[in-house]
Amino acid sequence: MTIHLPIQQELQRRRLGRRRLLGLAGGTVAATVFGPWGLTGAASVQHPGTHMYPKFNQTAGFGTLVPDPKGRLALPPGFQYRELSPEGGTLSNGDIVPSWHDGMAAYAGPNGTTILVRNHELVQDSNDYPAIKPVIGKNPYGADVFGGTTAIIVGPDRSELQSFVSSSGTVNNCAGGATPWGTWLTCEEATSQGLQDEDGITTLQPHGYVFEVDPNDPENELSRTPIKEMGVFSHEAMGYDPDTGIVYLTEDGETETDPLDPRNDSGGSVLFRFIPADLTRRPGALQKGGTLQALKAVALPAANDADLYDPGQRFGTTWIDVDPEGPAEDALAKDALHFNRLEGAHFAGGALWFCDTNGGEQRLGQIFRYIPATNTLELFYEGDDGAGVPEPESDVGRDFARLDNPDNIVIAPWGDVIVAEDGGGVNRLIGFTPDGEHYVLAQHVIPPQNHEEEELPENLHSELAGPTFSPDGQTLFFNVQAPGVTFAVWGPFQRMNTARRRQMSVAAPPPSLAPYLSGELREAADRHHLSALEAAAFHRLGVPIL
C-alpha cells in the first residue's frame, strides 16, 4: 500500500530554513537555539589523545571506550583487535598490498575460516603520489587503471592465512555489496566522462559499472565483465532484497550545494533499483539483464530535495524506469527524488538502509530507511551540531560528539545499525538500537598519510569503511582507508537476533535527536504548521507562537 501525503509539499514550503533562522537570531542563534549540548545530549569532544570520548549512551552498546595503549583503536571493555593486510605489506604471492582500503564483505570459508573481499578506491598509478600502491592483477578489465579488489582468508583465531587479488583494472572501487550466493558486487564510483571532465583522464575501457567478484574463482572472466544494465553512473553501494531479488543501488553523484539554503541545491544523487530478468541465485545471473529504475516521491517535496525532510517523517514513493546508458540524467529529468551524495547501503529485516554523507541542512549527513512492503521512505537520522548552522571549513578537524558524515552502513547480527563515519575530524563506528539509543562502538586515532604536514587539519583522521561481520556474528571487520589497514574486532558481542533485526526496520528514530516539546508547544506547532525543530527554535529565540 502506498501512503499519500497531500500536505507534504506545503509543510516543506513552510519549513524554517537556516538562513531565515540566522536572520531571526541576528547571527547569535549558534549560541542560543540549542545550547552547548546540541541535539545528541553530548558536549563537544577534542583531540582523542586527551582520552575524552563521546558521551553517547554507552550503556546502550557495550560500555565506555577504553583508550588503546598502542594508540590505534579504542574499544569497549572486553574487546580485542588484530590488524590484517596493511597497505604496503605483502600478499601471499609476494606482491604488495594495495592502498585505499574501502568497502568489504565477509563470507564463510572452509574449516571455520572467513573470506573477506575488499575494495581499493584507486584510479591510476600516479607519479604524483608514488606512495600509492596499485592493484596489480593477472586478468584486468582495463590495463590503464589500478583499482580493484583483494581477498583475505582469515582463520578461526582471526589471523591472516592467505591473501590475493580477486579483480583488477577498475576505478574508484568505493563500496558495493554482498550477494546471497557468495559473490561481491564491486561498484565503480566514477565514469569515463567524469574522469575526463574532472581530472583530464582518458581511459581505454568505459567505466562507471558494477562488477561481480567471486572469491572462490578470483580474476575470472565474470570479474572483468561489467553488468551494463545496472547502469553507467557513479556507483557507490548496493543492498540485495532476498525476498524479491531486487538490487538497490546508491549513486555518489555531483551536487552543487548552497551552504545556507538547501533549496538552492542543483544536481544531485539518485537511489536506483535493478530488477533482474533472471532471479536465479548464482554467479553471472545478473548479467542476463533487467530493468533499472529510480526512486520518486509521490508528493514532491520542496525543490524535490531530501535535504528538506524532518527526522521521523515518512513519504510515499514510486519507481520510474530509466535509461541504463544515462540513468542519472534521465532520472533527474523525470523528477526522481534527489539527495546530495549517497554512500553506504545495506538491506536487512525487510528494510533498505542507506546514507547521504553530505545530506541535511548542515551537510553533516542523513540516514534513510526505505520499506519496500509499503513503498515508503523515512528520514531516520539527520546530523546536527546543535548550533543550527552548516559546518564551515574552519570546523574541519573538530568533533562535536555526534554522527558526522555517515558513509558505509551495516545491520549487526543482533539488530543494531552500525555506521562508519567519513568526516573531517575524528571518525568512529556509531551504533543505533531499536530502542532509540545510539552509542560509539569504536574509534581509531590513526593519522592519514600522503599529505603535506601543513595540509592536515587538527584532529583529521582517515575515514572508516567497510564494516562487516563474520558469518557467525562473532567478529567485526572494518577498514581504515589511509594508510589502509583491516581490523578484526571480537569480544562480548550479542548473539544473532533476527527478530531484533526486523524490529530495527520499524523502530522509531532516536528521540534524543529531536528537541523536546511540551504538549502546549506541540499544539502551537501543529496550529502554525511548524515542525518540532522549527517550533523549538522559535520558542528559544523568544518568538511568540504559543
pLDDT at 259: 63
Closest by alpha carbon to 88, among 484, 492, 386, 372? 484
Cβ atoms of 312 and 367 within 8 Å: the answer is no
pLDDT at 221: 97
pLDDT at 528: 73
Cβ atoms of 512 and 60 within 8 Å: the answer is no
pLDDT at 107: 98
**What pTM, to 2 d.p., does this model score?**
0.83
pLDDT at 128: 61
pLDDT at 515: 47
User: Cα–Cα distance between 239 and 353 in angstroms, integer?
Assistant: 8
User: Cα–Cα distance between 93 and 164 in angstroms, integer?
Assistant: 7
Closest by alpha carbon to 257, among 202, 305, 209? 305
pLDDT at 423: 80
> How many Cα atoms within 13 Å fall on the side-chain side of residue 172?
16
- Give residue for cell 552543487: 256
Closest by alpha carbon to 429, among 152, 118, 53, 83? 53
| Inter-axis angle of helices 519-527 and 532-540, nearest 10 | 110
CA distances from 212 to 188, 217, 256, 319 (A): 12, 11, 32, 25
Which positions ≥6 away from 367 have C-beta within 8 Å?
353, 354, 355, 356, 379, 380, 381, 403, 406, 409, 417, 419, 432
Cβ atoms of 464 and 419 within 8 Å: the answer is no
List, in sequence order, every beta strand (DSSP E) within 71-189.
73-74, 80-84, 101-108, 114-120, 147-154, 160-170, 173-178, 184-188
Cβ atoms of 123 and 146 within 8 Å: the answer is yes
> How many Cα atoms within 13 Å fall on the side-chain side of residue 59?
0
- Give residue for cell 582517515: 462
pLDDT at 445: 85
pLDDT at 20: 30
User: Cα–Cα distance between 211 and 283 in angstroms, integer?
Assistant: 11
- The mean pLDDT values, 10 residues at a time, for the chain of 546 residues are 30 29 28 23 31 63 94 96 97 97 97 98 74 94 96 98 98 97 97 90 96 98 98 98 98 76 74 98 97 94 78 90 97 93 96 93 89 94 64 45 86 97 86 92 81 55 94 97 96 95 88 58 71 54 60
Neighbours of 59 (CB within 10 A): 10
DSSP state of 85: -
Cell representation of residue 325: 546508458
pLDDT at 10: 29
Cβ atoms of 477 and 486 within 8 Å: the answer is yes
User: Cα–Cα distance between 68 and 51 in angstroms, integer?
Assistant: 9
Gyration radius of the chain over CA positions: 22
pLDDT at 362: 77
Which positions ≥6 away from 522 have C-beta within 8 Å?
532, 535
Cell representation of residue 393: 571549513
pLDDT at 395: 44
